[in-house]
């Protein structure tokens, strides 16, 4: 252990996570949306945030592109940087949960090991893994940002689904298939599942 690390002594405050949860009248959880680019993660995440706030449930959305312009702007897209990006997000989500908030995350998070690490950081009892599932061909057809087309032309390296792998969850807490279902029905399924978890005892 370095001398600098020996100087780090985390404080214990006078307000417990349980008190904050009781104050906000909800069980704080992290909803971890994972899936290919253009599978519908951000659409569902923003709609879920709107629905939760309308239901007077304090929450906050952490979205991949927003994080990449701030807390993770120094990271690239190779496996090691992706791992560090997920670690940072999980740590932020954990702090939000300890503050009593529901954290909604929308990240490709392509590797099972990284999602397992995120679950460990947040705490398994607070972590809800949601696979936003859509076939690659559907995602490529949507391609709202034009990323798949650029990746196919070799203009984007290590793009998930084209030149980098996506490891689908083997046992997600919830699977939402967006290829055929309407946005409204997908959001309703997600909202109902989240509300069943966060309602105060």
- Active-site residue list: 109
End-to-end Cα, the chain, rounded Å: 42
Lookup: tokens for 122: 């947040």
Nearest to 139 by CA among 109, 167, 160: 160
SS3 per residue for 133-183: ECCHHHHHHHCCCCHHHHHHCCCCCCCECCCECCCCCCCCCEEEECCCCCH
Please report, for the chain, how many H helices and E strands are present, in that order.
Answer: 9, 5
- Three-class SS of residue 193? helix
Q: Where do the DSSP E strands lie in the chain?
A: 30-34, 59-63, 102-106, 127-133, 174-177
């Amino acid at each position: 252990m370095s001398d600098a690390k020996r100087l780090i002594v985390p404080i214990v405050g006078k307000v417990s996570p349980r008190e904050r949860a009781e104050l906000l009248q909800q069980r704080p959880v992290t909803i971890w949306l994972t899936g290919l680019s253009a599978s519908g993660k951000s659409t569902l995440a923003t709609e879920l945030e709107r629905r939760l706030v309308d239901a007077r449930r304090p929450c906050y959305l952490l979205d991949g592109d927003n994080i990449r312009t701030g807390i993770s702007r120094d990271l690239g897209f190779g496996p090691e940087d992706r791992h560090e990006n997920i670690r940072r997000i999980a740590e932020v989500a954990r702090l939000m949960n300890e503050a009593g908030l529901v954290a909604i995350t929308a990240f490709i998070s392509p590797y099972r090991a990284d999602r397992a690490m995120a679950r460990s950081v947040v705490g398994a009892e607070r972590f809800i893994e949601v696979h936003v599932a859509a076939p690659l061909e559907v995602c490529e057809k949507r391609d709202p940002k034009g990323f798949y087309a650029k990746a196919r032309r070799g203009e984007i390296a290590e793009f998930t689904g084209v030149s980098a792998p996506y490891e689908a969850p083997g046992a997600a807490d919830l699977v939402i298939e967006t290829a055929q279902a309407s946005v409204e029905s997908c959001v309703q399924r997600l909202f109902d599942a989240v509300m069943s978890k966060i309602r105060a005892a």
